[in-house]
Amino acid sequence: MKQRVPGRTWYSAAERRRPRLLIEDDHPALEISDFAAFRDAGFDVAFCSGPGGSPESCPLLGGADCDVLAGADVVLQGLEGGLVADIRWWHPELPVIVKGGTTAGGCSAIPACCSVKGQLDAVRRALSKAARDEAKERRATNLPEQNSY
């Protein structure tokens, strides 16, 4: 498993920070990508190639949380077979966009051949939806108690 994380910004607890995108994909070209389009669009980007032939290298497959995943605001998942169920179990609040997959488990889906612009748009939509859902939940829990007659 290969991971690349912008250490200083990824684990920062600063209130004003850029959204953090975790790209999980086993395509070899992505191991050396700088993800400039996402960075230029205002995201901090981490990359994980997935467990590949060594499932023991992946904390999720070993029944533990993953520090990189825990720091993400959104995940763009492109692994064959994926780890979507594990991601959703550990972080049900986390927006997950599945490349070439289905929308099962509350995830969004985009075609496998989606352009970088299309992927960027999907990530923005997922973050916007998550923010709306969170705001709606906060409003629902802060509503005054209703009288029952």
**pLDDT for residue 74:** 95
Phi, psi (deg, nearest 5) at residue 5:
-135, 135
Asked whether the beta carbons of 24 and 76 are under 8 A apart, the reply is yes
Q: Is the pLDDT of residue 147 over 70?
A: no
Is 125 within a domain? yes
| Segments forming the whole domain that contains residue 84 | 3-141
Is 147 within a domain? no
Global pTM exceeds 0.95 = no
Structure tokens at 24: 């999980």
Number of structural domains found in the chain? 1
Is 104 within a domain? yes
CATH of the domain at 66: 3.40.50.2300
**pLDDT for residue 120:** 93
Asked whether the beta carbons of 83 and 55 are under 8 A apart, the reply is no
What are the pLDDT digits (tens) for 31-83?
Answer: 778 899 999 999 999 999 988 888 889 999 888 999 999 999 999 998 876 68
Question: Average model confidence (pLDDT) for the chain?
Answer: 84
